[in-house]
A = this chain, B = another copy of it.
Amino acid sequence: MEMYKITSDEIDVNQVITSVIRPEAGAINTFIGTVREFTGNKQTVSLQYEAYPSMAEKQLKRIGIEIREKWPNVQTSIVHRIGKLAISDMAVVIAVASPHRAESYEASRYAIERIKEIVPIWKKEYWTDGEEWIGDQLENTSYKNRVPKEEKE
């Protein structure tokens, strides 16, 4: 049974993986995003994730639907944690099950890229020398008037 969830609890990886296991599947790709300590020279102390939870869960489901349109035999679960996280804590767990391995990699990669585009979740980094809400302003100059559409191949 696919899961699309925003939670403030620690993510149970096994539960996410188990949710996509089926007899038709021979491959499960899991992507886990963890809190990294260093980005270049900047040292992260902790992270705060905030979400618009009800909309974020809808967007996660939408990613699952987009995936099934592209890879019909794939099952997807995505759980994203919010609140305060420490170094190496898991922020997001994606599990994708498919009959063959190629699609499991492709669909998993698609899921993480789409999360970074359309799911209303925001990260605030606390560094040793300050804090900042992350959001790639520079790469989104045309973002203002753009409704995210399903990606075309």
Contacts and interface: CB of A to CB of B under 8 A. Distances in A.
Given A30-B29, A105-B108, A23 B99 contact: no
Contacts of A51: none
A119 interface: no
Interface residues of A, number: 31
A59 to B, nearest CB: 19
B29 A31 contact: yes
Interface string A20-39: 01111111111111111110
Interface of A: 13-14, 17, 21-38, 87-88, 97, 99, 101, 104-105, 108-109, 112
Given A25-B88, A31-B104, A31-B105, 13 more contacts: A14-B14, A23-B37, A23-B87, A24-B38, A25-B34, A25-B36, A26-B34, A26-B36, A27-B31, A27-B33, A28-B30, A28-B34, A29-B108
